[in-house]
Homo-oligomer: A and B are copies of this chain.
Amino acid sequence: MVRRNIAVEGVLPGGSYTVTIRADYPNRPGMLGNVASIIGMAGGDISSIDLVEADRSRMVRDITVGAQNSDHARKIIDTLKRIPGFQVRSASDRVFLSHLGGKIAVQNRIPVKTRRDLSNVYTPGVARVSTAIALDPEVAWTLTGKGNTVAIVTNGTAVLGLGDIGPQAALPVMEGKSMLFKEFADVDAWPICLDTKDPDEIVRVVKAIAPGFGGINLEDIAAPACFEIEARLRAELDIPVFHDDQHGTAVVVLAALLNALKIVGKRIEDIRVCVCGVGAAGTACTEMMQAAGVREVIGVDRYGIVYPGRPEGMNPALEEYARRTNPEGGPGSVHDAIAGADVFLGVSAANLIDATDVQRMNKDAIVFAMANPDPEVMPDQIEGIARIVATGRSDFPNQINNVLCFPGLFRGVLDVRAREINQAMKLAAAHAIAAVVTKKELSEEYIIPSVFNRNVVRAVAREVAAAAHATGVARRRRKSRPAVFL
């Protein structure tokens, strides 16, 4: 199994972690040589030195140094600080440098350079556009950015593998997500980080801000609150509401599963799936697989197999889940649940299963171990035991990544001004992603396309739009009526 290079925790294999140190030191002959030799002795590798400013007494330089990792870089900096008169103004690595000042900005789509521009885009011209929308609210889809704009809404309670870090610390993730929306699908997505954990309040806020948006992407909101919030917003808003951690994951998992089943030659109706982790993602993956034909699912969480009336760790969402899964009932651990399964789907935590567990699965076992950043079982551990392995990571084959879904899905939704995202549209997205991998290309190590495969967005957008039309939730007619704006 080939493991590719990747920056995990800022460490790049092959020593390509670099830190840029802004150094302010006395302007004396020999100083730079002294600095350079101290860096060398500390095991650092200077890759560039740039002058920032200088006068007779001081020099300010940016020194870029290769190190093993961030701890090593910190040690190099501490050593440098011992040089008399040497000050570190700032030090950042590549990841932090790329975050300075944020990752997204507003861009004007037309110029405002002249008086005439100003009277076009602002007063007095804009008054006519506002009047047109007041008379017919539907034209807001044409005459404003609403039709291309999505709110990325989070309260920061379930961010990546970090958990409840709050709305402000979640902002870099939402900015990153906004970048992906823009880069892959030309969707304008703005982060809205909410300082509240109250589901009622979140529903109220999202409903209040909805007029300016064509869709709502809920993100990194913890279960079970996320279920109620999404359900209520879907019912009360006339624009699509999509909790990506649930449904984005479910769509991509199903895409990978459809292709994996082609390889092992099993019918989806016949398989047994063990779902490990029954939070936002696990619940949605279960529903999605069931919608696609899976009959037998056993869910497991930290209290073991989920079954109706379990004495520990239940809530209304889990009771509902228990009723819909696990036809054989009864308690047990993940090790019991995985025995005899055709598919293990992990959306839980690191190292929960091992090779022995996978050995007890059915022939041609399919293991999707998607815990972040460390999977439920490392792919190398089950090489030759499982037939097909996928993870959420980019350093193993078969990366199951939401980026394969949400850009194309929202592109399709906005293109037809859909009122909602229904199951038919999600199934269409999953089939579109799966179909990007051709029969000829399909193999145990290639069941899901790369996130950089540009065909994915186009295919997903097209199929989602078609499904929206077919299910009657597209607001835009295929043939648009004449638009006269005067």
Q: How far is the CA of A364 from the CA of B446 in the complex (A)?
A: 83
**Residues in B whose Cβ lies below 8 Å from that of A485:** 90-93, 96
Q: Is the CB of B173 within 8 A of A122?
A: yes
Given A195-B210, A212-B171, A109 and B115 touching (CB < 8 A)? no
Q: How far is the CA of A142 from the CA of B149 in the complex (A)?
A: 26
Q: Is the CB of B169 within 8 A of A137?
A: yes
Closest to A127 in B: B160
Given A124-B373, A147-B101, A211-B194, A182 and B7 touching (CB < 8 A)? no
Closest to A92 in B: B485
Q: Is the CB of A8 within 8 A of B124?
A: yes
Q: How far is the CA of A392 from the CA of B105 in the complex (A)?
A: 31
Q: Is the CB of B125 within 8 A of A169?
A: no
Q: Is the CB of A145 within 8 A of B179?
A: no
Q: Is the CB of B108 within 8 A of A104?
A: yes
A contact residues, total (Cβ < 8 Å): 118
Within the complex, what minimum Cβ distance (angstroms) separates A189 from chain B?
7
Q: How far is the CA of A450 from the CA of B121 in the complex (A)?
A: 18
Q: Is the CB of A208 within 8 A of B211?
A: no
Q: Is the CB of B183 within 8 A of A108?
A: yes
Q: Mark A143-174, 1 if CB is under 8 A from B, else 0.
A: 11111110000000001111001111111111
Q: Is the CB of B74 within 8 A of A486?
A: yes
Out of B73, B95, B165, B452, name the residue touching A125 (CB < 8 Å). B95
Out of B120, B166, B171, name the residue touching A94 (CB < 8 Å). B120
- A1 sits at the interface (CB 8 A): no
Closest to A130 in B: B169
Q: Is the CB of A169 within 8 A of B134?
A: yes
- A219 sits at the interface (CB 8 A): no
**Residues in B whose Cβ lies below 8 Å from that of A88:** 482, 484
Q: Which of A199-207, A310-318, A341-349 lies on the face that meets chain B?
A: A199-207
Closest to A133 in B: B169
Out of B10, B102, B394, name the residue touching A149 (CB < 8 Å). B102
* Those of A400-454 within 8 Å (CB) of chain B: 403, 451-452
- A98 sits at the interface (CB 8 A): yes
What are 13 A-to-B residue pairs whose CB atoms are below 8 Å? A19-B486, A95-B128, A100-B143, A104-B109, A105-B148, A122-B176, A122-B177, A126-B160, A126-B173, A127-B161, A131-B165, A193-B209, A205-B209
Q: A90-B482, A127-B161 are in contact. List 17 more A-B contacts (CB 8 A).
A: A7-B120, A73-B486, A91-B484, A102-B109, A102-B146, A103-B108, A103-B121, A105-B106, A105-B148, A118-B394, A121-B179, A122-B179, A123-B176, A130-B172, A193-B211, A201-B208, A209-B209
The 5 residue pairs across chains A and B that have the minimum distance between CB atoms: A102-B145, A96-B485, A107-B107, A122-B176, A134-B169
